[in-house]
């Protein structure tokens, strides 16, 4: 539904062309940069383009027409996301994303493929250096984001008024990540603290700010911006809560990522916080003991999943998602919007909450 204009394909096409151009530029500097190019392309050619969709519909909701400029601006948002994912995967030491090895894991693999040809790393890349290489890939992606947004072709005055929003997006996202890292692996925080992290790290970053960026580019009214906050924060929290469920109960073959990592790291999710608060003291001790072990295995994870189910926490998280989606939908009804934008944002709310990957 939100892809009625084929805009996802247009974002993908633009990013593929960017990968072509940047690969040529990098290889002009040195043929040894092949592994960087391979990972760069991977980073640019997958993703749901959800943040791009919110930016796009923020623009359309402000009454602006479809155009190439907004596609490029939306692509810049995806570049920010590609950079953030690359750095996030290093922090979490995640092994898989979209079913493929993450950048720092791929660099450590010692050989990469470009086109159909295997390219060997002379001597292999030292394991302890691969996170550094992936960090640089993320830095490069973030730089592309700045370039693409600055040259998207929309009027300079439109672009200029988004500067404070980009600052806010970055500050909030990093604050959320920072708080999550501080709290990960420590005593399980309460549900409120978990939702605080989710608000900064996901709700503002994934939904509210991309909508604000598009709407501010388009010159939307304060009412529209306020409605996008009222829609974006609950929807974004729902998105994170769904992500938490998929990160523990999801099928890796469908989600393309591990369903053990969150538990192993004792990620301070609302799901875990709720489980702790709902268990009997005895089951609580069992949970703590299971999670405290040196490296959680499949049978330990199965036990934790059982406790999450049996305590009613999983069901409660589903209820929280439903309640938040309803609030997001109600916010859409509180403001005048073009019919196609309203329909697309309604569909995005459904798909974000019901997704299986």
Rounded to the nearest whole angstrom, what is the least distance from the CB of residue 43 to a second copy in the complex? 14
The answer to whether 120 contacts a second copy (rule: CB under 8 A) is no
The answer to whether 25 contacts a second copy (rule: CB under 8 A) is yes
Sign of the C-alpha dihedral computed for residues 186, 192, 193 and 194 taken in this order: positive
Residue 315: count of CB within 10 angstroms of its CB: 12
Q: Pick from 17, 113, 126, 310: which binds a second copy (CB under 8 A)? A: 126
Q: Pick from 90, 274, 321, 349: which binds a second copy (CB under 8 A)? A: 90
The answer to whether 125 contacts a second copy (rule: CB under 8 A) is yes
Torsion angles phi and psi, residue 340, rounded to 5? -70, -35
Binding mask 139-178 for a second copy (x = CB under 8 A): xx-xxx-xx--xx----x---x--x--xx--xxx-xx-xx
Instruction: Select the span of 184-192, 207-215, 274-282, 335-343 touching a second copy (CB under 8 A).
Output: 184-192
Q: How far is CA 173 from the centre of its chain?
A: 10
Q: Counting Cβ atoms within 10 Å, is residue 233 exposed (0-12), middle (13-18) or buried (19+)?
A: buried
The answer to whether 114 contacts a second copy (rule: CB under 8 A) is no
The answer to whether 104 contacts a second copy (rule: CB under 8 A) is no
Q: Which is nearer to a second copy, 265 or 340 (CB)?
A: 265
Q: Which is nearer to a second copy, 160 or 253 (CB)?
A: 160
Q: Which is nearer to a second copy, 33 or 96 (CB)?
A: 33
Q: Which residues contact 89 (CB under 8 A, 6 or more apart)?
A: 97, 102, 103, 104, 134
Sign of the C-alpha dihedral computed for residues 225, 351, 53 and 163 taken in this order: positive
Residues 273-312 that bind a second copy (CB under 8 A): none
Query: In a 3-state reduction of DSSP, which class is residue 120?
Result: strand
Q: Which residues is 249 bridged to in the sheet? A: none
The answer to whether 22 contacts a second copy (rule: CB under 8 A) is yes
Cα(55)–Cα(46) distance, integer angstroms = 18
Distances (CA, A) of 212 to 59, 74, 161, 217: 9, 12, 11, 8
Residues of this chain that bind a second copy (CB under 8 A): 22, 25-26, 29-30, 32-33, 36, 83, 87, 90-91, 121-123, 125-126, 129, 131-133, 135-136, 138-140, 142-144, 146-147, 150-151, 156, 160, 163, 166-167, 170-172, 174-175, 177-179, 181-182, 184-187, 196, 200
């Amino acid at each position: 539904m939100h892809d009625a204009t084929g805009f996802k394909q247009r974002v993908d096409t633009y990013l593929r062309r960017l990968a072509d151009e940047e690969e040529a530029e990098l290889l002009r500097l040195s043929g040894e940069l092949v592994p960087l190019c391979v990972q760069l392309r991977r980073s640019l050619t997958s993703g749901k383009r959800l943040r791009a969709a919110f930016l796009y519909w923020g623009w359309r909701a402000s009454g602006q027409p479809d155009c190439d400029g907004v596609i490029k601006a939306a692509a810049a948002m995806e570049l920010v996301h590609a950079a953030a994912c690359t750095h996030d995967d290093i922090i979490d030491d995640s092994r898989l994303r979209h079913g493929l090895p993450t950048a720092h894991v791929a660099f450590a693999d010692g050989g990469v493929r470009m086109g159909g040809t295997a390219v060997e790393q002379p001597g292999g890349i030292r394991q302890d250096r691969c996170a550094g290489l992936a960090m640089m890939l993320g830095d490069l992606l973030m730089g592309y984001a700045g370039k693409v947004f600055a040259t998207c072709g929309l009027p300079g005055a439109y672009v200029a008024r988004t500067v404070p929003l980009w600052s806010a997006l970055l500050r909030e996202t990093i604050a959320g990540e920072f708080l999550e890292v501080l709290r990960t692996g420590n005593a399980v925080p309460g549900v409120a603290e978990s939702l605080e992290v989710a608000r900064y790290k996901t709700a503002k970053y994934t939904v509210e700010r991309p909508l604000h960026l598009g709407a501010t580019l388009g010159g939307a009214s304060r009412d529209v911006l306020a409605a996008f906050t009222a829609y974006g924060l609950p929807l974004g929290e729902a998105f994170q809560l769904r992500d938490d469920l998929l990160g523990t109960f999801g099928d890796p073959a469908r989600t393309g990522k591990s369903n053990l990592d969150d538990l192993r790291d004792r990620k301070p999710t609302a799901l875990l916080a709720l489980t702790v608060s709902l268990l009997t003291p005895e089951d609580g001790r069992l949970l703590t003991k299971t999670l405290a072990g040196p490296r959680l295995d499949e049978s330990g994870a199965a036990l934790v999943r059982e406790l999450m189910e049996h305590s009613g926490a999983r069901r409660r998280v589903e209820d929280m998602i439903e309640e938040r989606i309803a609030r997001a939908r109600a916010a859409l009804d509180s403001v005048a919007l073009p019919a196609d934008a309203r329909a697309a944002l309604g569909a995005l709310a459904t798909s974000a909450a019901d997704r299986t990957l």
